[in-house]
DNA sequence: ATTTACAAACAGTCTAGTCTGTTTTTTAAC
DNA sequence: GTTAAAAAACAGACTAGACTGTTTGTAAAT
């Protein structure tokens, strides 16, 4: 393999180099740029005002190039959605690497997902897509499909994080937390007060830790429940 | 000659009082029809595909009549939103009348709001409006304004329902429940499984009742916490 | 030489808001 | 009490712009 990494530089319009493997790279780059632009545009102008023309302009490419890679608007939207899912993976990788989530406190992980995922405008964009999927059945099917593998990976992560003996209860707990975070994302978007959300997040962490302590026969949570009474009642303020 | 001297009143407010209720009635009816049609259309086709023409057609009125009552599309949307809020009031009135919420179990009220408000497609419509308000600042301001009085009334209801001595905690609890319900609404819309939502609702009710028992020095919640250990661990299936 | 990547113009459709005109109701004068 | 003027309710056409998908054309890569 020749050292052709140097030829990877240069501007978009002209790159006259007879390099093998270049076509696929170019295509992938272009798709990446378009998806990122689509996501940015979606965050900025919202789903209703999002147009394919605007996406192409944002990415700095012609509309012809765009339609070559994403024939229809729905293709473009699905691409943006997948791009967002990948960015979440990247953020998680950056924060925790390959660390075992089982050794992580629940609070740490929850604050991470709130800070890096749910509280971002891009999550609202994702919600807009999901709500739009209610009437656009084909889009919905494709979004669900894109979410399929990430969702099962999320299940594995939460399994590692929580380790409830009762898997059914663990799942309930997971979905409850997910719903809460989604609702908080909406609240943060529509209302102005971030203070409320911070307080709710703190309160949920506190409540959740008690549930975890009870559900999981960990080192510190005996079956007898000697911790429970005090734990449930102790709503001491968290410093955040 | 009837007593129409009232009409010579003062200056600007040209609002004749004698007997003519006909015009106002017609106007109110038409607005009602349009708002209902707008809400229906919003539920059926979603925010992105909602058009003023479609609303007028659905209401069975001409576009001229529509623009007379709602000059702009945003006016129409705000009208639909207010209409929805009123329908929630009506449902609550139907279910509980003037009953004191303090005598109502938390579970009963929560199941009511889930069944009659949050699980309905119209709530998704409301969410679409709220998300759209993120970029349409003027719409957002008007929606928040429309929600202002209903929200403070909701606060009063939850105060009556929960009666926590610590008002701050009560507010946290209220917002937590609200966020949870919102998130569940999205989940119900995007995913297919209602079973998950039912389970989450059950679980939240159970958890919430413990929080209530601890926070509120009611008749049945002793300070000693003799109920807590068994209660927290007992996730017995609820019959619903 | 043939496929892929990119470019740009085009066509058909649709939408929100405006404008002009008609009917009904209300007000005010007679 | 009748009637004319005014205002409000209603109807429908029109416009200017925008959007998506298509099509035709060119450059680059294989």
More confident of the two residues A75 and B11:
A75
Residue B210 forms contact with A (CB below 8 Å): yes
* Residue A113 and residue A93 share a domain: yes
Q: Please, are residues B74 and B119 in contact by the beta-carbon 8 Å criterion?
A: no
Indicate whether A133 belongs to any domain. Answer: yes
The pLDDT tens digits for A111-130 are 999 999 999 999 999 999 99
* Residue B162 and residue B210 share a domain: yes
Position B221 scores a pLDDT of 45
Position A226 scores a pLDDT of 35
* Residue A39 and residue A100 share a domain: no
Non-local CB neighbours of B128 within 8 Å, separated by 6+ positions: A131, B42, B46, B47
Buried-state track B121-150, b at ≥16 Cβ within 10 A, e below 16? bbbbbbbbbbbbbbbbeebbebbeebbeee
Indicate whether A10 belongs to any domain. Answer: no
B183 to chain A, closest Cα gap in Å = 4
* Residue B65 and residue B82 share a domain: no
* Residue A85 and residue A30 share a domain: no
Spatial separation of the C-alpha atoms in residues A224 and A217, rounded to whole Å = 10
Indicate whether A100 belongs to any domain. Answer: yes
Indicate whether B174 belongs to any domain. Answer: yes
Indicate whether A240 belongs to any domain. Answer: yes
A74 to chain B, closest Cα gap in Å = 13
Buried-state track B168-180, b at ≥16 Cβ within 10 A, e below 16? ebbbbbbbbbbbb
More confident of the two residues B36 and B233:
B36
Chain A CB contacts of B135 below 8 Å: 44-46, 48-49
Indicate whether A128 belongs to any domain. Answer: yes
Q: Is pLDDT above 90 for B227?
A: no
Instruction: Indicate which CATH number applies to the domain containing B54.
Output: 1.10.10.60
* Residue B79 and residue B67 share a domain: no
- Measured from Cα to the C1' atom, the residue closest to D28 is A16
Take residue A2 and report the two structure tokens written for it.
Answer: 């020749």
Position B86 scores a pLDDT of 98
Round the average pLDDT of chain A to a whole number and report it: 85
CA of B72 to C1' of C17 (A): 8
Average pLDDT score over residue span B91-110: 94
| Any strand D atom closer than 7 Å to A50 CB | yes
* Residue B176 and residue B155 share a domain: yes
Q: Is A215 exposed, middle or buried (0-12, 13-18, 19+ CB in 10 A)?
A: buried
B16 to chain A, closest Cα gap in Å = 41
Closest chain B residue to A151 measured between Cα atoms? B191
Spatial separation of the C-alpha atoms in residues A93 and B230, rounded to whole Å = 40
* Residue A55 and residue A136 share a domain: no
- Show the CA angle centred on residue B212, arms to residues B208 and B216, nearest 5°: 175
Q: Please, are residues A183 and A174 in contact by the beta-carbon 8 Å criterion?
A: no
Position A7 scores a pLDDT of 35
Round the average pLDDT of chain B to a whole number and report it: 86
Q: Is pLDDT above 80 for A217?
A: no
The pLDDT tens digits for A83-93 are 999 999 999 99
Q: Where do the DSSP E strands lie in B7-127?
A: none
Non-local CB neighbours of B136 within 8 Å, separated by 6+ positions: A46, B74
The pLDDT tens digits for A136-183 are 999 999 999 999 999 999 999 999 999 999 999 999 999 999 999 999
Residues of chain A numbered 170-199 and touching chain B (CB < 8 Å)? 171-173, 175-176, 178-184, 186-187, 189-191, 196, 199
* Residue A97 and residue A212 share a domain: yes
- Which of A142-146, A230-234, B37-41 shows the lowest mean pLDDT across its residues? A230-234
* Residue B143 and residue B53 share a domain: no
More confident of the two residues A41 and B222:
A41
Spatial separation of the C-alpha atoms in residues B14 and B1, rounded to whole Å = 20
Q: Which domain holds residue B136?
A: 73-240
Indicate whether B217 belongs to any domain. Answer: yes
More confident of the two residues B3 and A100:
A100
Indicate whether B9 belongs to any domain. Answer: no
List chain C nucleotides near protein: any atom < 7 Å from a Cβ.
Answer: 4-9, 14-21, 25-28
* Residue A166 and residue A120 share a domain: yes
A163 Rama class: left (phi>0) / alpha (psi -120 to 50) / beta? left
* Residue B118 and residue B105 share a domain: yes
Q: How confident is the model at residue A219 (pLDDT cuts 50, 70, 90)?
A: low
Interface mutation vs chain A, best among B189, B200, B238, most A CBs within 10 Å = B200
């Amino acid at each position: 393999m020749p050292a052709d990494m140097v030829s990877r530089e240069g501007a978009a319009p002209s790159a006259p180099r007879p390099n093998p493997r270049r076509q696929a790279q170019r295509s992938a780059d272009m798709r990446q740029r378009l998806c990122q632009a689509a996501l940015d545009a979606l965050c900025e102008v919202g789903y209703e005002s999002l147009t394919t023309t605007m996406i192409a302009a944002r990415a700095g490419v012609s509309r012809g190039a765009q339609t070559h890679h994403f024939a229809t608007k729905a293709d473009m939207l699905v691409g943006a959605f997948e791009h967002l899912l990948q960015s979440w993976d990247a953020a998680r990788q950056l924060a925790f690497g390959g660390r075992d989530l089982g050794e992580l406190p629940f609070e740490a992980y929850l604050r991470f997902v709130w800070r890096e995922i749910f509280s971002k405008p891009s999550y609202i964009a994702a919600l807009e897509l999901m709500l739009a999927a209610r009437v656009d059945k084909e889009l919905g099917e494709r979004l669900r499909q894109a979410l399929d593998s990430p969702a099962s990976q999320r299940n594995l992560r939460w399994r590692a994080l929580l380790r409830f003996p009762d898997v059914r209860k663990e799942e309930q707990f997971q979905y409850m937390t997910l719903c809460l975070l989604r609702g908080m994302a909406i609240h943060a978007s529509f209302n102005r007060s971030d203070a409320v959300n911070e307080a709710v997040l703190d309160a949920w962490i506190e409540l959740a830790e008690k549930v975890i302590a009870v559900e999981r026969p960990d080192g510190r949570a005996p079956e007898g429940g000697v911790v429970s009474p005090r734990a449930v009642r102790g709503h001491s303020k968290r410093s955040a």
